[in-house]
Structure 1
């Protein structure tokens, strides 16, 4: 049996188990998507949003990329954000990083990861540059990487607040709340590291005055 065949077989077993417990589950799910949360997380396979939050399908809208970045030219992320905020009307947007993040650790090196990854990881290097003095004062490289992961989450939340999507929702709907979290691979616990309430302070340079 190939790995793909095994996945399909496991899917059938899972679907049958769910239907045996709740015969109307899939019919009900097919007509309902009212999540309260948008999750912007890392693509790392060890950080599944629904598993670590105990949420069910339909309860959390998910976007994932390497090192949970919010980049102002990323049309994929912005389309997810637009849909979640303006159509699903989510009340909370969560950026969740994790300790031991491979993307964060890679960005701390001077290794050439070739064209596309180099461009992506440069966004994390920019975060490092902003907090260079604080990070360089941490001698333990693992602890330094963990702190960079926290600071990276903070900066991505600020990037969200700079979008017209979030600012417009803040102005007219007083939502969503923005949450910056870090997940611990070693203990399975989530730590809240940064938050922004609707209308939170932002450098005036990034504020739109004609929304």
Structure 2
């Protein structure tokens, strides 16, 4: 790609912003003026960084309604200070009522974790997904179709990340303090646009197991 192509690509971004500015200017509802004063979302969305799975479009929500954190394969790692900072702000400042961990079928990060190839520094991140595979290796290995194997690990990974999220001190203290907070695990079918409920919702630490549930 030459400099001309780069310039055209950047100009497309600027032109797109002009279109958005016109939309905001012509809006008569007053919602953008309200958004300029602050945000009050009820949802924290923890999703994959994949460009095909934007939270607002998938959920049919407007700007200001979803607080978003995204990374490779929608991971909730206990040592990830970026994720924890977003979580803490969402739960303790914004007082969100729902946290959605959203994976998606055909996830490249999950597929990569099932291979033995090296991809670079991301290999260290993928080890967290490989740990999920290790917990469910017998089930995953029994699936012969590669696509179905990956998609099943996508589902299992979402459930594991929901569990990880629920065991954080941030979520548990919110429950302890009587805060209304539900954590949900969901998967996106990119081909149909469907957001699939995995029936993996927690509203307290009672189902986490005694060594994970703080008193």
Question: TM class by shorter-chain length?
Answer: over 0.9
Alpha-carbon separation, structure 1, partners of 2:177 and 2:31? 35
Q: For the Cα contact (< 8 Å) 2:205–2:213, is it kept in 1?
A: no
Q: Does 1:136 align with 2:141?
A: yes
Instruction: For 1:84-95, list aligned pairs within 5 A.
Output: 84-95=90-101
Which structure 2 residue ranges, 5 or more long, are not aligned?
A: 1-6
Q: For the Cα contact (< 8 Å) 1:178–1:195, is it kept in 2?
A: yes
My pick for the range that moved more, 126-135 or 192-201, is: 192-201
What TM-score, normalized to structure 2?
Answer: 0.93
Q: For the Cα contact (< 8 Å) 1:50–1:56, is it kept in 2?
A: yes
Partner of 2:207: 201
My pick for the range that moved more, 40-49 or 191-200, is: 191-200
Partner of 2:3: none
Instruction: For 1:157-196, list aligned pairs within 5 A.
Output: 157-193=162-198, 194-196=200-202
Q: For the Cα contact (< 8 Å) 1:37–1:90, is it kept in 2?
A: yes
Q: Does 1:148 align with 2:168?
A: no
What TM-score, normalized to structure 1?
Answer: 0.95
Q: How many residues are treated as equivalent by the alignment?
A: 208
Q: How much does 1:174 deviate?
A: 3.8
Q: CA separation of 1:23/1:16 partners in 2, compared to 1, >3 Å: closer, same or farther?
A: farther
Q: How much does 1:146 deviate?
A: 0.4
Q: For the Cα contact (< 8 Å) 2:206–2:213, is it kept in 1?
A: no
Q: How much does 1:104 deviate?
A: 0.4
Q: CA RMSD, aligned part only?
A: 1.3
Partner of 1:43: 49
Please point out which of 118, 126, 145 is paired with 1:112.
118
Q: CA separation of 1:145/1:175 partners in 2, compared to 1, >3 Å: closer, same or farther?
A: same
Alpha-carbon separation, structure 1, partners of 2:209 and 2:23? 52
Q: For the Cα contact (< 8 Å) 1:19–1:25, is it kept in 2?
A: no
